[in-house]
Amino acid sequence: MKPVLAAFALLLSCGLAVAGPGQPSNCSQTVGASAAAVAFPAAGSTGNPSPQTYLEIYNAHATNTLGVNWTGGTAAIGAAGTLTLNPGNGISWGKNSPVIPQSVSVIGSAGSTTTACGYN
């Protein structure tokens, strides 16, 4: 696991079950070759109903690519409006971003593509 991804995974594992003010909320999921909406918070997690301060999404799979569309469309690998993330790479929005997306679609290049996703 790349150092940045390992640090992010550790951040997500700390206190997500009872995410309160100032704590990260979990939006991680496993996706396949069909687009899926990112849930805020992830199924089985508690937390804020939407990102307010930051949003980070990483491709946590060892070999599959991950497509991310935050412009309101449906993610499709290689399509306009979808950023393709190689394994270990990610994208984040925060205080220097003009807008933190409230609706994100993701897709894997194959089944069981895992994401590491957190927000506050």
The CATH number of whichever domain residue 101 belongs to comes to 2.60.120.770
Q: Which domain range does residue 75 map to? A: 3-119
Amino acid at site 65? T
Q: What residues pair up with 66 in beta bridges, in sequence order?
A: 85, 108
pTM: 0.82
Report the 10 Å Cβ neighbour count for 77.
Answer: 16
Q: 56-114, pLDDT tens digit by residue?
A: 999 999 999 999 999 999 999 999 999 999 999 999 999 889 999 999 999 999 999 99
Where is average pLDDT lowest: 3-12, 21-30, 109-118? 3-12
- For the chain, the domain total comes to 1
Q: How far apart are the first and last CA of the chain?
A: 24
> CA triplet 85, 75, 81: central angle to 5 degrees?
80
What mean pLDDT is reported for the chain?
Answer: 87
